[in-house]
């Protein structure tokens, strides 16, 4: 486990090795905090050290957190994306935090001081979580967690915690929760002030245990202006975080031919997402699909590598998938290597304000390389690269180490990606021919206005010839 090295003598002096701190930068890389693989090797570490003096706490548990503080501070010093540390003296900030931590008696209070130090960086994504929280947070190799199957995001403008989506068939879905619901309480405690990840931590837990949630019904609010509150008890289960679902939408063209559109919904990027996507595309190609709709709406992201792997299934050659910008302002493109697309059929990608991180990378890669038309609403705008390092005490430090730009060098972070076509009901002008297959899934999809807009865009694209 790569971590910063610290040594302490009887006088309470800690020596932080920069070489070790540099090595810790090789930790896994992720956009949403889910474990991922590094996209590129870390820069060479510098073989120099810094000695920091601090008063040693007499409380054993606080003393352990003091060492964690030094470790976290060193990693920030070496890798944080802003080399000015939000225009402050980072060395002085460590000493101030040490002095504030010295009289504390509890571990929780000491971790609070580390969180306070990190908050001065002005980046909400750079944070520390306790060993217990980290164990709950970690994703297994099969891409699953123990929870209730709900995706949550904090709305930037209002600070509300909104349900973005539910895993189909999961506890939250079975209980009637849906996208647009506002989360207000978990087990009787208000979620005010929590971010999406902190709320998700409260919802996770051992299989078989339960959690009570209170939400404001978003559907009722939109339908008639009234807000209905509901409270449900959810049982925690093993949740598969690779919820890829597919359908074939069939209809008759004006000349009587059967037209098939392959619909692929990807709700998150887990370790199995790319393999499932490859299987889905190949199967639909065998079934004679002539165009595709890739639905990334309310997909909050996940593993960056999974997003890049999916992008390569739709692209040929040595195209740039995304650009990274480090703390020195250096732009590094991440390119395909002799890629070969699984299909050249026309493609529309659906996005909205709930599409974030890896979703935005994928949408940007397909759009900027001329492979797909984007339909929907402007995306969330989270284009930060984070390192995730497990520290010596089992806690985890999340650090924003760089940011992403789209292949065409467009900003993603705090800006989002603007679709080519906004999907609103009044844009629908062409009549729809009757569906050939009246199964529930296809019928429900054709009632989605954005999917109807996407199909119209595909018809126009097919009339021009296949995408390249």
Cβ neighbors of 370 (< 8 A, separation 6 or more) are: 467, 468
Q: Give the residue numbers marked as catalytic.
A: 357, 382
Cα angle 19-22-25, degrees, rounded to a multiple of 5: 155
User: Mean pLDDT, to the nearest integer, of 219-224?
Assistant: 52
User: Mean pLDDT, to the nearest integer, of 50-75?
Assistant: 86
Percentage of the chain modeled with pLDDT above 70? 78
Among 14-18, 110-114, 414-418, which is the least confidently predicted range? 14-18
Percentage of the chain modeled with pLDDT above 90? 52
Q: Do residues 76 and 118 touch, judged by C-beta distance below 8 A?
A: yes
pLDDT tens string 346-368: 999 999 988 999 999 999 999 99
Strands 421-422 and 320-325: unpaired
Asked whether residue 434 carries a pLDDT value surpassing 50, the answer given is: no
> Where on the phi/psi map is residue 301: left (φ > 0), alpha (ψ -120 to 50), or beta?
left
> Rounded to 10 degrees, what is the CA torsion of 326, 331, 337, 343?
100
Composition of the chain by helix, strand, coil, percent to 5: 30, 30, 45
Q: What are phi and psi of 39, to 5 degrees?
A: -85, -25
pLDDT value of residue 1: 33
The CA distance from 134 to 198, in Å, is 11
Rounded to two decimals, what is the model's pTM?
Answer: 0.71
Topology of domain 60-134 in CATH is: Transcription Regulator spoIIAA (3.30.750)
pLDDT tier for residue 303 given thresholds of 50, 70 and 90: confident
The count of other CB atoms within 10 Å of the CB of residue 452 is 19
The count of other CB atoms within 10 Å of the CB of residue 102 is 19
Residue 166 pairs in a beta bridge with 150
Architecture of the CATH domain 145-240: Roll (2.30)
Q: How far is CA 159 from CA 6, 70, 287, in A?
A: 38, 32, 45
Q: Do residues 222 and 178 touch, judged by C-beta distance below 8 A?
A: no
pLDDT tens string 128-155: 988 877 776 665 445 567 889 888 877 7
Domain 244-386+399-427+442-466 annotated CATH 3.40.1710.10? no
Q: What are phi and psi of 388, to 5 degrees?
A: -125, 115
Q: How far is CA 149 from CA 145, 241, 451, in A?
A: 9, 8, 24
pLDDT tens string 155-196: 767 888 988 778 878 999 999 998 889 999 999 999 998 887
Q: Do residues 100 and 93 touch, judged by C-beta distance below 8 A?
A: no
Residues, the chain = 468
pLDDT value of residue 300: 86
Asked whether residue 261 carries a pLDDT value surpassing 60, the answer given is: yes
Q: Do residues 285 and 294 touch, judged by C-beta distance below 8 A?
A: no
pLDDT tier for residue 17 given thresholds of 50, 70 and 90: very low
User: Which of 386, 414, 384, 380 lies closest to 399, judged by CA?
Assistant: 386
* Extents of the domains making up the chain: 60-134, 145-240, 244-386+399-427+442-466
pLDDT value of residue 114: 96
What DSSP letter does each residue of 60-76 carry, written as one string? HHHHHHHHHHHHHHHHH
pLDDT value of residue 444: 66
Q: DSSP secondary-structure letter at 225?
A: S
Cβ neighbors of 178 (< 8 A, separation 6 or more) are: 163, 166, 218, 219
Residues 358-389 as b or e (16 or more Cβ within 10 Å = b): bbbbbbbbbbbbebbbbbbbbbbbbbbbbbbb
Give the residue with greater pLDDT, 178 vs 419: 419
User: Mean pLDDT, to the nearest integer, of 33-43?
Assistant: 37
pLDDT tier for residue 8 given thresholds of 50, 70 and 90: very low
User: Sign of the CA dihedral 260, 266, 271, 274?
Assistant: positive
pLDDT value of residue 79: 95
Give the residue with greater pLDDT, 64 vs 220: 64
pLDDT tier for residue 337 given thresholds of 50, 70 and 90: confident
């Amino acid at each position: 486990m790569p971590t910063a090295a610290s040594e302490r003598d009887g006088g309470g002096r800690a020596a932080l090795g920069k070489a070790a701190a540099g090595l810790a930068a090789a930790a896994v890389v992720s956009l949403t905090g889910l474990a991922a693989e590094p996209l590129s090797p870390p820069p060479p570490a510098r073989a120099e050290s810094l000695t920091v003096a601090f008063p040693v706490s007499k409380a054993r548990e606080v003393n352990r957190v003091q060492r964690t503080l030094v470790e976290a501070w060193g990693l920030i010093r070496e890798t944080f994306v802003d080399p000015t540390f939000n225009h402050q003296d980072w060395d002085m900030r460590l000493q101030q935090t040490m002095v504030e931590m010295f009289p504390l008696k509890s571990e929780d209070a000491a971790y609070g001081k580390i969180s306070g130090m990190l908050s001065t960086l002005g980046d909400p994504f750079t944070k520390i979580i306790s060993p217990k929280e980290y164990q709950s947070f970690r994703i297994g190799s099969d891409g699953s967690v123990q929870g209730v199957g709900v995706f949550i995001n904090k709305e930037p403008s209002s600070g509300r915690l909104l349900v973005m989506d539910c895993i189909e068939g999961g506890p939250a879905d079975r209980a009637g929760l849906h996208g647009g619901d506002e989360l207000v309480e978990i087990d009787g405690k208000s979620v005010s002030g929590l971010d999406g990840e902190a709320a998700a931590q409260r919802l996770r837990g051992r299989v078989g245990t339960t959690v009570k949630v209170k939400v404001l019904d978003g559907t009722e609010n939109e339908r008639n202006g009234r807000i209905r509150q509901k409270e449900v008890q959810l049982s925690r289960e093993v949740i598969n975080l690779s919820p890829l679902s597919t359908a074939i939408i069939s209809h008759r063209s004006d000349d009587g031919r059967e037209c098939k559109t392959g619909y692929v919904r990807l709700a998150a990027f887990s370790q199995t997402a790319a393999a499932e996507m490859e299987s889905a595309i190949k199967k639909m190609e065998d079934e004679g699909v002539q165009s595709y709709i890739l639905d990334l709406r309310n997909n909050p992201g996940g593993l960056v590598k999974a997003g890049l792997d999916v992008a390569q299934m739709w692209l040929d050659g040595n195209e740039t998938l995304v650009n990274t910008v480090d703390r020195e302002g250096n732009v590094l493109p991440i390119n395909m290597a002799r890629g070969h697309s699984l299909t050249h059929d026309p493609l529309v990608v659906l996005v909205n304000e709930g599409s974030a991180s890896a979703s935005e990378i994928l949408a940007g890669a397909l759009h900027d390389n001329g492979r797909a038309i984007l339909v929907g609403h402007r995306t969330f705008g989270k284009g930060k690269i984070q390192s995730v390092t497990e520290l010596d005490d089992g806690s985890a430090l999340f650090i924003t180490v760089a940011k992403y730009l789209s292949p065409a060098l467009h900003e993603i972070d705090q800006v989002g990606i603007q679709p080519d076509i906004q999907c609103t009901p009044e844009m629908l002008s062409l009549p729809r021919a009757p569906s050939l297959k009246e199964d529930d899934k296809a019928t429900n999809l054709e009632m989605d206005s954005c999917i109807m807009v996407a199909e119209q865009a595909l018809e126009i694209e097919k009339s021009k010839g296949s995408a390249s």
